[in-house]
A and B are shown apart, each in its own frame.
Chain A
Amino acid sequence: MARSHLHVGLEIGTSKVAAVIAETRSDGLLRIIGTGEALSRGVRKGEIVDIGKITLCLNEAVSEAEEKADREIAGVVASITGAHLESLNNRGGIPIPDDRDEIEEEDIQEVEQSALDVSIPAGNVFLHTINQHYYVDGQEGVSSPLGMIGRKLEAEFHIVHGTKTRIQNSLRCIREANLKVTNVVMSAVASAHAVLDQTDREGGVLVIDIGGGTTDFILFREGSVRQSGVLAVGGDHVTNDISIGLRVPTKWADKLKTEEADVAPGATAARGTVRIEDPTYAGGEIERSSLNKVAEARVREVFTLIKRRVHFDRQAQFIGGGVVLTGGTAELKGIAPLAADVFGVPARVASPRPLMGPTAICESPRWSTAVGLVLYAQAAQEALAEISVFDRLRSKIGRIIPGL
């Protein structure tokens, strides 16, 4: 019985594997009881390329979390990322049968099915079908049509789909580690759960989760998901650019990135140098302006591409909450001013919302996805207890991804 209240979030990222164990207490609050982290190996741009290596990392992170929580876990909610994930918005519609007027649960399920009647590439499967809002007899803005009277039910959905084999590959290592995958969540969806509350979503917000290998983004407008996606560019690219541009090995490039680089719009004119203390190194002076230019160019490009992908210019007036940056690379100095400059709206860096339990991890944007996964799992469980929103979701995922 205790296990049903245990939620485990597992993020297999390009730079780290993070596991969070949380339990729902009797008062309904979620409490983090254990966390584990391991350097990630065998993952590139969010996708697993070496199952053997990543399974070891995964075991390490999970064992650490289990030890801290003093629990043994059996199943996890896993995040998925990678450039293969795509999204679209689609409207479904069905007539309500003549023999009744009231909208029933089965109608809601049916309208969702009708929205899935879209063509996606062969070999792709649906990952999320996120309801935006319903229309009853053409009336807009219905959030819960159950029990309403009408002749026609329509609904708009944000649909996320991805390549089946790639999703399966990402999950295979979890099975290799003898864990069950109870649910699969797009990283951006999970991170948004961690850093946003209902008010943020209502006000309109663009969440950008910049990780090591990918940048995941999700845009909320009027409380619902309108856009989401993955760009296979992340902090590793910043490191690589620095390494090539300033001709330093990756190890230094990474240090320069995290400790010295400033991507704020004005920082490209920075003066002075950064000294690298190493006897084996001939020219140990790095120009700050060059470092900042290289890093800024990359991050600015990422923001610009996302701005275009989500058609931000058309939505800006609905994005009262501005841009929320999270993920490990969001710790880059000056990243919020840069985002504000590119998007023309306020931007801030966000860590997971405070939870009970060891709060130290919540203080870093690096943990957003993993914490978001347990929040997602909890929300899903609550929904399951009430109506079958999650049930439908799970049955769908269960159907499309065998072996869960």
Chain B
Amino acid sequence: MITVGTNERFSTPATAVSSVKVIGLGNAGLSVLARLAHEQGAPADLVAVHTDAKAVAASPAARKMQIGHDVAKGLGAGGDAARGRASASESLTDLRAECKGAEVVLLCAGLGGGTGSGAAPVVAEQAKKSGALVIALVTLPFAAEGSRKRELAEESLARLGRNCLAVLCFENDRMVEVVGAEAPVAEAFGAAAGVLSLAVRAIAQMVALPAVMPVGLDELLQMFEGADARAHFGYGAASGPDRVRLAVEEALRCPLLEEGKLLSEPGRVLIHLTGDDSLTLSELQSVLRRLSAHFGPATLVHVGVANDPAAGEHLGVTVLGCTRSGVPSVVLEDEDELEAPVEPVEEAVESVVGEKPGESGAKRGKGKGKKNEAGQTQEELPLDQAMRGRFKDLDPTMVDGQDLDIPAFIRMRIRLK
């Protein structure tokens, strides 16, 4: 029996989070769920929430919930955020019951519409009250959709921020670059949902899969703390002997990484790998080496590795980064419930790549091969640093080319429950 005093600050569950719920809200949220539902081994429960009875019925999610029977009468919120909010308010108890038991709730919605913008802050609040840690992943409307939608989204974003530990914003304008401006509208929206679903899955995997090298929730939260964080996201998966190169290249091809901000601005980057037992340390190092050339000199790099037996030969590489756009421009008119912002969580294992912020590498390039000044300061692998724990500031103990400060079970690839 082990007893430790209560004064110890500790915020990360020691084992993988057991219950993750993904709540998809509104049209955008439901289309993300639809993608997730068709993927194998998504480590989370999917809950579809909408005012539109037909949309809810059509969702392949395991759990479905129609909100605002009286307010919306089984139809959509009609782009009216007030109706969306009222619908959610009508179903408060149900929402809270649905969230019960979940340790982490990932809330996906498209902001700018009725149900997403209006209901998302309410759902987040109920999830929080049920005891879950809430992370929202939201899309922001296309610039072409007009300034009214943008304002609506910004306002919703500010409300969301109060009940979420983190809000990740994905800008539709940038996400459709996946398919290019010439693509049909349907395809463009599909691409946005696709990117979002990849991000949801990556985060769910980070917190729920047995981690060889865990990413603490605290690390995630630190990255995306505050409502004004803009997410950069890249994901690639590949198999075969050349899977490291292919996966990294695919991840870097994601337009959210080509924006250039990730490459130059001081910020945080989380690199997460999933794979089965065949994933080797040298592959991890290779991934990091390839990616590290693209970071700015002051970038903080978090590294996580999760074991996904369902991945088979596939190596999955997720790159999540964020920059802050500044203080939210929206001032809320009705402060219905003021709560203190969530305290920043304790510093997690992290490593500093490079030393001083720089303006290098802000150029836009095409895919791979971008280099910046930071590339020269990358001899020390961030992976090693993160895994060395208390020895991270010391000279490594190198024996036969191995750094013995890295836990033996990781180097020996011993699987833990």
Contacts and interface: CB of A to CB of B under 8 A. Distances in A.
- A-B interaction: yes
Interface of A: 44-45, 49, 83, 231-233, 236-237, 239-241, 243-252, 255-256, 259-260, 274-287, 289-290, 293-294, 297-298, 300-301, 305
A293 B414 contact: yes
A255 B404 contact: no
A151 B3 CA distance: 71
A-B pairs, top 7 by smallest CB distance, nearest first, are: A241-B407, A298-B408, A247-B14, A297-B408, A290-B416, A297-B409, A277-B3
B396 to A, nearest CB: 9
26 contacts: A45-B394, A45-B397, A232-B404, A233-B397, A236-B390, A240-B391, A244-B349, A244-B410, A247-B14, A247-B211, A247-B214, A250-B390, A252-B2, A252-B4, A256-B2, A277-B2, A277-B3, A279-B6, A280-B6, A280-B8, A282-B14, A287-B416, A287-B417, A293-B414, A298-B409, A300-B408
Interface of B: 1-6, 8, 10, 12-15, 18, 103, 211, 213-214, 216, 349, 387-391, 394, 397, 399, 404-405, 407-410, 412, 414, 416-417
Given A247-B15, A294-B409, A232 B397 contact: yes
A260 B2 contact: yes
A245 B407 contact: yes
Contacts of A282: 13-14, 103
A261 B417 CA distance: 16
With a 10 A CB-CB cut-off, give which of A244, A248, A294, A301 has the most chain B CB atoms. A244
B399 A275 contact: no
A231 B405 CA distance: 11
Nearest to A252: B4
Contact of A243 (B2, B15, B389, B416): B389
A294 B389 CA distance: 15
Contacts of B13: 247, 282-283
A83 B391 contact: no
A293 B409 contact: yes
A227 to B, nearest CB: 16
Contacts of B405: 237, 240
Given A232-B404, A237-B404, A278-B4, A297 B414 contact: yes
Given A237-B408, A297-B412, A298-B407, 11 more contacts: A244-B389, A245-B410, A247-B13, A249-B10, A251-B4, A274-B2, A280-B10, A281-B10, A286-B15, A293-B409, A298-B409
A276 B12 contact: no
Given A240-B390, A252-B4, A280-B8, A294 B216 contact: no
Q: B-side binding surface: helix, strand, loop or mixed?
A: loop
B390 A246 contact: no
Nearest to B349: A244
B403 to A, nearest CB: 11
A294 B2 contact: no
A251 B390 contact: no
Nearest to B393: A44
A45 B408 CA distance: 16
Nearest to B388: A240
A274 B399 CA distance: 33
B37 to A, nearest CB: 28
Contacts of B409: 241, 245, 293-294, 297-298
A277 B6 CA distance: 9
A277 B416 CA distance: 22
Contacts of B388: 240
Contacts of B213: 244
A256 B1 CA distance: 9
Contacts of A289: 417
Contacts of B407: 237, 240-241, 244-245, 294, 297-298
Contact of A281 (B14, B387, B410): B14
Nearest to A279: B6
B313 to A, nearest CB: 25
B389 A240 contact: yes
A259 B2 CA distance: 8
Nearest to A241: B407
Contacts of A252: 2, 4
B6 A278 contact: yes
A284 B1 CA distance: 11
A243 B388 CA distance: 11
B416 A293 contact: yes
A42 to B, nearest CB: 13
Contact of B2 (A240, A275, A301): A275
A45 B216 CA distance: 27
A319 B6 CA distance: 50
Contacts of B14: 246-248, 276, 281-284, 286
Nearest to B404: A233
A195 B18 CA distance: 49
Contacts of A283: 13-15, 18
A305 B416 contact: no
Contacts of A83: 397
B412 A301 contact: yes
A247 B12 contact: yes
Contacts of B103: 282
A13 to B, nearest CB: 16
A244 B416 contact: no
